[in-house]
Amino acid sequence: MAVYTEIADEEVAGFAAQYDIGTVIACKGIAEGIENTNYLLVTERGTFILTLYEKRVKVEDLPFFLGLMEHLARRGLPCPTPVSGRDGQTLRTLAGRAAAIVTFLSGMWPRHPTAGHCAGLGEAMARMHLAAADFAGRRDNDLSVGGWRPLYEAIARRGHGMAIELARELEEELAALEGGWPRALPCGIIHADLFPDNVFFSGGRLSGIIDFYFACRDFLAYDLAVCLNAWCFEPDGSFNVTKARRLVQAYRAVRELTPDELDALPVLARGAAMRFLLTRLYDWLNTPKTALVTPKNPTEYLQKMRFHRGVRGFGGYGLD
């Protein structure tokens, strides 16, 4: 989440008047994340999130995202529910941007994830995968292996200061991933961006999953690979086997992984590291200096990518 588009109080009031949510009391920008403009919207009838869609989000994809959240919420997954206006529509326009209001979820995201947090995430992720199995929407992952080389080439055109050694390493890594990417694993709807700041906990229990704006159809185990990167490394770069074990065990207790999924986990995690390395590099070069957001450091994911490159099979993580 971030603030790229400023909106006047009068615009907010006029927009909210199209909903049955009462008079606006307060509206404050949320300066976390990097994708969309988000405001905390407080009205007479409750607290909501107002989102203006920016950057990589395509307007034609928004019905998929909003429909998925509605679908998952109906099946009991704690996620934001899009609010319909008086005309029954959830998607409309504000300040020249596509915009929507969704319900607010209580809880805090874990600044220092524990093994217990990882277990809660694993269980909820598996529940989400099962709950989305009958969702009719379709959106392919445009940030999977087929999208990495065009993204790298866009970075290379802008990043004139990229070290020759790094460019060579990324070229070699891309070629290895393109040649070794799995072809036939169980597929379904995944979140694809389950970082700690997109998962809320309250009283030690998972209370919400937010920010579904990268959700897509891909290998289910790829979601797990993203989380191995995002949740199971310590600040010094070391891999925490206990966190990874709790994450995977909790997931498998709800949805068992196939032998092929287990075998593919190292290359999926290596690819997930490449994906976030490239998007962070791109944002580092392209985020407006006036935006109320700090681009995330891409170096972290270079180190993670190198770690996974050295793992040989599922057992190489120390996970039985």
* CATH 3.30.200.20, the chain: domain bounds: 9-103
Scored b (16 or more CB within 10 A) or e, 11-39 reads ebeebbeebebeebeebebbeebbbbbbb
Q: Which segments of the chain have a pLDDT < 50?
A: 1
Q: Is the dihedral of CA 143, 275, 297, 162 positive or negative?
A: negative
Q: Which residue has the tokens 């947090």?
A: 117
How far does CA 208 lie from the centroid of its chain? 13
Residue 49: φ, ψ to 5°: -115, 125
Given this model, what pLDDT does residue 78 score? 97
pTM above 0.85, yes or no: yes
Given this model, what pLDDT does residue 48 score? 98
CATH code for the domain defined by 115-317: 3.90.1200.10
Given this model, what pLDDT does residue 291 score? 53
* CATH 3.90.1200.10, the chain: domain bounds: 115-317
- The superfamily in CATH containing domain 9-103 is Phosphorylase Kinase; domain 1 (3.30.200.20)
Q: Rounded to whole angstroms, how far apart are CA atoms 179 and 274?
A: 14
pLDDT in tens, 140-195: 999 999 999 999 999 888 765 567 888 899 999 999 999 999 999 999 999 999 99
State the average pLDDT for the chain.
92
